[in-house]
Amino acid sequence: MAASRSRAQGASSSSSPCGYHVFLSFRGEDTRKRFADYLYKALVNAGFRTFRDEDHAERGEPIGSELKKAIQRSRSSVIVFSKDYASSTWCLDELVMILNRRRISSHFVLPVFYDVDPTHVRKQTGSFAEAFDGYHKRIEEEKDEKKKKEWMKKVKEWTEALQKVAELGGKVLINEADGALKQSEDLLSI
């Protein structure tokens, strides 16, 4: 697996027994240079010790132990759903871990629907349907029964996780030119 660089900044860890106040989850290709960067900076500037993954490889590799630990050591997660979020198996696996953490502890989860309709997330329609069509096609084409069952299990987990997280409510934001900074600051007021 390629080395993963991560960044955690903000208030000292002594103010957070869990290690991080916020685990920031997002699809890098969609939002890293725009909204996610502004949100990260706003969280850090507000004093929140924030973890975000800087450089993970998405080429079918499993989530690294560093990310798993960061999710476990975070009090809350902000998940930024964007148009191509569901096309990343990495993001979907991360989502499942975050919701498992929420299920067994008091982990707070804030979904942010960035230029995507929450209904598309909940029902896997729109761009989310396109991604899941690809996963279903992969299942159909898989010759190895064991791998086919593994994929079926994963797709079921992802579907259930997307349904659950969309039911939490959250914040809907429209991608506006030069609006990412203001939107990230507005999000902190929640």
What residues act catalytically? 94
Alpha carbons 184 and 107: distance in angstroms, whole number: 21
Rounded Cα distance between 170 and 50, Å, is: 19
Distance of CA 133 to the CA centre of its chain: 20
Closest residue by Cα to residue 105 from 65, 78, 77, 75: 75
82, 26 Cβ separation under 8 angstroms: yes
Residue type, 155: V
